[in-house]
Chains A and B, each alone.
Chain A
Amino acid sequence: MWFEQVLFFVAGIGALAGALGVVLLQNPFYSVLSLVAHLLGLAVLFLLLHAEFLAAAQVVVYAGAVMVLYLFVVAYIGGADEPLRPESGGVALFGPLFAAAIAVELCIAFISSGLQALDTRGADLGPAFGSPGQIGELLLTDFLLPFEAASFLLLVAAVGAVVLARRRRGLEEVGTGAATEGGRPPSGRREPPTETLEVRV
């Protein structure tokens, strides 16, 4: 099964490089594109783990729809290059140190967990494992309540995003002086564009 190993290493290194790119690239636009590469690598890994439906959903929903939403917002805000933590303070040292500690700790926990099946290639699978039919049947039988809760949560999030991102001119005029001081300055500056962000989930 050398083909599977080669594919694992290619996809895994791609996913790791994408993750590093998200953290290390300075322009948010490139960070989003790097996350797309990371998600595609993860989709290949999902395929290797016999999760066909999840891989398809990852590519279509995640790398497609959600990342397009990100790109729109980055283009709207106009993400400028930001230097990576210019002052060499404590946080600049603490971040990578914390990450290394978490990685070592998780690896120790995984490897020494005593689960014997970890060193195998997994249980024997039926031919329909991870297919859309199986997942759909599980979602509508055993996991009906989480499924409905997730759909309701999506509805709430969509309504909440519209409420958050709309122009609230009325609130600022009603508010006190402290509330308006962070608002838009009286004149001379460019008004921000007036479109509302439409979010479709």
Chain B
Amino acid sequence: MDITWYLVLSAFIFAIGAAGVISRRNPLVVLLCLELMLNAGNLALVAFSRMHGGEAGQVFALIVMVIAACEVVIGLGIIVAMYRNRLPIDVDEMSELRG
């Protein structure tokens, strides 16, 4: 398969993730959609690494996976803290930074 196919697929996945981030209201699902966008970036990185024949892109994708794990952990911690404080689990209601 040509590299272009992989890149177009990653563009579609990124767009779906962006639509989810905009239109969903549950912060858990917003985090999932952020994961989708990061994974689309990963797919593009690996496709370019295949195109150039060097592994730097794969190492970069590995680092992106680490960043995604950190983001998930912190985001879920914030959501659990919201639940503990009986705040509504809804990104429209959460419009201020004070805990």
Contacts and interface: CB of A to CB of B under 8 A. Distances in A.
Interface of A: 4-5, 8, 12, 15-16, 19-20, 22-23, 28, 31-32, 35, 38-39, 42, 45-46, 48-51, 53-54, 57-58, 61-62, 66, 69-70, 73-74, 76-77, 79, 82, 84-85, 91-92, 94-96, 98-100, 102-103, 106-107, 110-111, 115, 117-125, 129-130, 134-135, 138-139, 142-143, 146-147, 150, 153-154, 156-158, 160-165, 167, 179, 182-185, 192, 197, 199, 201
Given A23-B24, A51-B58, A82-B25, A77 B89 contact: yes
Contacts of A61: 65, 69
Contacts of B53: 122-125, 129
A179 B17 CA distance: 35
Given A42-B39, A117-B51, A23 B16 contact: yes
Given A95-B19, A135-B62, A66 B2 contact: no
A16 B72 CA distance: 21
Given A16-B13, A183-B86, 8 more contacts: A22-B17, A23-B23, A31-B32, A38-B39, A45-B9, A45-B43, A157-B73, A182-B87
A28 B28 contact: yes
A50 B26 contact: no
Given A22-B33, A58-B65, A161 B9 contact: no
Contacts of A82: 25-26
Interface of B: 1-9, 11-20, 22-26, 28-29, 31-33, 35-36, 39, 42-43, 46-47, 49-53, 55-56, 58-59, 61-63, 65-70, 72-74, 76-81, 83-87, 89, 98-99
B67 to A, nearest CB: 7
B46 A54 contact: yes
A157 B56 contact: no
Contacts of A73: 28, 76, 79-80
Chain A interface mostly helix, strand, loop or mixed?
A: helix
Contacts of A57: 62, 65
B25 A85 contact: yes
Contact of B2 (A12, A22, A121): A121
A154 B68 CA distance: 10
Contacts of B65: 57-58, 61-62
14 contacts: A4-B1, A19-B12, A23-B16, A31-B28, A42-B39, A42-B42, A91-B22, A102-B11, A106-B14, A118-B51, A123-B51, A139-B59, A156-B70, A183-B86
Nearest to B40: A19
Which 6 pairs from chain A and chain B are nearest by CB? Answer: A123-B53, A95-B23, A99-B19, A164-B77, A106-B11, A103-B15
Given A77-B79, A183-B86, A122 B59 contact: no
